[in-house]
Structures are given as C-alpha cells and as structure tokens.
Amino acid sequence: MRPEDWNFVDELAALDDRIIPFWGVHPWYADKLEEGWEREFEGFLKDRRGGIGEIGLDKARPGNGLDRQIKIFRQQLEIAGRLSRPMAIHCVQAWGDLVRILREDVGSAARFMIHSYRGSVETLRELVKLGAYISFSWKWLRAGTPDMMALVREVPDDRLLLETDFPYTEPGKIGEGADAGKYFECLDGVYRIAARARNMDETVLQEKVFKNGTAFLSGASAR
C-alpha cells in the first residue's frame, strides 16, 4: 500500500513460490510520497516478479486530494506498462474518472483487475470493454443483494475473479475473528454465493476463476 510495506511484502513472497506479491501506492497514501518515489519504485520492481497494486482513486478519503491521487495513479500505470505488470485497481466514488483515465492511459496489452467491485452495471460494461477483469469480495457478496447478484452475472466468463479481501471482511474495517479459519470461511463463502448467482456448479466456477487468475497474472488468454 506504501513504500514502507514493500520490503515486508518481498520477505513474505520469498517464503513460498505460490505467493504472487503486488506492490504499489494505494490512493490513501498518495499525499505522503517524497519526490522521486516513482524512480525508486520502478527500480525496486525490475528485479522482482509480481504485480502493481492496489492503486487507484478514492474520493471517500477527505483531505487526500483527487488531483494528487490521479497523478500518482497515472505514474503507476506508466510503470506497469513499461514493465508489463498486472495491476490491481481500487476505486471508491470515482468511477467516471477511473474509466476516463484507463481509456486515455492504458494500452490494449495491459492486464488489470478491478478489486472488490461495487459500481454500476453500466460502468462494469465499460471496464470490460477496456479489458478489465472484475473481482468481487466477500464483504459485498455476503449480503446476496439482487444488485450484487446482477453484477456477478454480468461479468463474462473469462473476466471473472473472486477474492476475500481478508482481513477486511466488514465494510470499512477489519472483521472480528480474523484468523486462518475465518479466511477459509470467507473463501468458501465467496465461491458459494457467486456460483449461486451464476447458476453454476461450484467446482466448475473454481476452475474458471483459477484459469482467469492465471491468465491475468501471466498475460496468456483465458479463453
């Protein structure tokens, strides 16, 4: 989420080849960067595998100006393009700005996913046209509202991703009992609800999402 985290994430990723690390500057920390941070970031990434994220825009954070967020976001989009890295994108209350920036700044070869999606159906369609993978998280799926179920159904088979966003299992906060057991409970729940929304066998859905995730990370087609 910020430069202070990068080495810690690096150490975690070294523990197991199955861990795919993502580094970046979250919009919450866009106002706390020192001059030249982007050169340091690109140099850090060149010797490491993994992606860039979470990056993006968040209008719900008072005092953290949108212009500054947009500048930092665009810098990270440029780095991701130069290094051909997948991106995890965060967006809250800034969907119009996000779509505009992605349309202007992201090439057709870019790989990006929208984390914990909760926008409109219309915006989802625009993002998919731009090449986005759409990921849904436990904290928004768990209620099983008709609007969320409609969003899950709207995503093309080869663009759907699922996540726990653990330990942020409650809207706006870390959930109670954030331990390993809770993590797997959230993981099972996300697949169960998404499978019901799409009227699919859960095992088939798991296979599709795994294939999509592999394609997102590697750049290979998920079709």
Lowest model confidence (mean pLDDT) among 103-112, 113-122, 157-166, 189-198 = 103-112
In the block, residue with structure tokens 């996300």: 190
Nearest CA to 199 out of 164, 161, 132, 150 is that of: 150
In the block, residue with structure tokens 């699919």: 200
CA 219, CA 210: separation in Å to the nearest integer?
Answer: 14
Lowest model confidence (mean pLDDT) among 24-33, 68-77, 148-157, 170-179 = 170-179
Q: 67 and 172, same structural domain?
A: no
* Count of alpha carbons within 13 angstroms of residue 103, beta-carbon side: 11
In the chain, the number of structural domains is 2
Q: 81 and 119, same structural domain?
A: no
| Structural domain range at position 168 | 111-223
Q: 213 and 116, same structural domain?
A: yes
> Kind and range of the H or E element at 53?
strand 51-58
pTM (2 decimals)? 0.93
**pLDDT value, residue 172:** 75
Q: 122 and 219, same structural domain?
A: yes
Q: 166 and 119, same structural domain?
A: yes
Q: 213 and 126, same structural domain?
A: yes
**pLDDT value, residue 168:** 85
- Which residues are within 8 A (CB) of 96 and not within 5 positions of it... i.e. 6 or more apart? none
Give 126-143 pLDDT, tens digit per residue. 999 999 999 999 999 998
